[in-house]
Amino acid sequence: MGGPFAPEPFDGFGFMFSLMSVIMPIGFIVFLILFIRAIAGNVRNARAPRQTWYARVAAKRMEVWGDHSRTHYYITLEFGDGGRREYLDVKNLYGLLVEGDEGYATVQGDWIVAFERHPAARPHHGAGW
């Protein structure tokens, strides 16, 4: 079309440059959305009221990210009505609790912020564990 030295639409460097000019903005937008969601989640949890319930530690798990550079610890609580909910451990309680521990758990949004063992203080409000 334009002679022997005219670039073709999909030749090496030109194609990669065009592709990167599309991929980079998309990647930046995705990163920005994920960053904003993480900040919004932390703000929501920090502003949530603290609530305390009698509960039993039903399960514990950890999630490792980024070649072991970041580990999140989760504690699942079971309440007297049989309901369960998993909370992110933000106060380093994971190593202090074992499955089956009973007591008063203080939660704030999706975070567990305190757990005080009281096996003898279990309320007797009908069926449950």
- Intra-chain end-to-end CA distance of the chain, in Å: 80
- Residues 74 and 90 reside in one and the same domain: yes
pLDDT over threshold 80, residue 105? yes
Same domain, 34 and 87: no
3-state secondary structure (DSSP) of residue 117? strand
Question: What is the model's pTM?
Answer: 0.72
pLDDT in tens, 33-88: 999 999 999 999 999 999 999 999 999 999 998 877 899 999 999 999 999 999 99
Number of Cβ atoms within 10 Å of the Cβ of 49 = 7
Indicate the pLDDT class of residue 126, thresholds 50, 70 and 90: low
62 and 104 fall within a common domain: yes
Domain tally, the chain: 2
Residue with tokens 């007797």: 124
- 38 and 57 fall within a common domain: no
Same domain for 110 and 84? yes
What average pLDDT does the chain have?
88
Q: Which domain holds residue 41?
A: 10-47
Give the pLDDT score at 108. 98
* Pair 61, 111 in one domain: yes
Residue 2 lies in a domain: no
Contact partners, residue 42, CB within 8 Å, separation at least 6: none
CATH code, domain with 58: 2.40.50.660
